[in-house]
Amino acid sequence: MARLHHPNIVEVYDYGEVGDAGGTRPYVVMELVEGRSLAELLSAGALPWQVAVLVCAQVAAALTAAHEQGVVHRDVTPPNVMVTAAGVKLLDFGICAVTGEADLGDGDEIVGTPAYLAPERLEHGLVNPATDVYALGLLLYRALAGHAPWTAASPLEAVRAHREVDPAPLPGIDGLPAEITDLCLRCLAREPDDRPNAAQAALVLAQAAGVPVAPAAATAAKLVTPSAVPAVLPVGRAFASAVASAGAAVSDQTRVLDKPGAWQRRIAVAVVAALLIGGMAA
């Protein structure tokens, strides 16, 4: 994590362990980021599409940089996206993993937030950047529509929806470019190979948001490599003003599935087993 340096990723300065009478404890020294979480902004409903697209463009740029280094976040959710006056920061790489490793936690658990888990993560496969792109699609959908593509009352229902239920179409949004609607649905494809990579998503989002991109990326058509996409740099006062307007009426009401908590971050194998057994019995 300390090797990731990008304007849209929180900076990690140091990490290690300290020992005392109570044992050994890990520590992380990170950049101080002041702003509001995307979860807080979304508690008031959908964002103006221009703000939603710009925020997600910066998340996609952060993911592009991470994936280029072989790092998969595995918990791209609204609480882990901080919106500041200078731009967006992707936070909390606490359960990140290296591409190609077994996609499990320390106790052979599936880790992550049920509402943002890609369906293939239930298969106990290998860590794959496509799972972050799926979560990006959910972020984009939520920011545009003001709600998730599915309704789920429990973690188990959320996991089942990703595997078995097609996402509801985005509602009509005046002025939203068709390529953003298309991108959102492609990011939510059940099959990882049917999704764009983070660099491709960053390019489409940045262009729709009016953020300049490198000429090499703009001419790359369908084949966009991570190194072709620059950082979606902080955009100054215009961004700060748009975000302030979008969040002016933030309420205290948030959806249960978006509240961070231990049950969201770690799904016991027993829960997943129940889902799989239920699917086989159906």
Catalytic-residue membership of 75: yes
Q: Could you tell me which of 56, 264, 234 has the C-alpha nearest to residue 158?
A: 264
Q: Which residues contact 274 (CB under 8 A, 6 or more apart)?
A: 156
Spot the catalytic one: 14, 20, 75, 108.
75
* Cα separation, 171 vs 106, whole angstroms: 40
Q: Which residues does residue 71 pair with via DSSP β-bridges, in sequence order?
A: 98
Catalytically active residues are 75
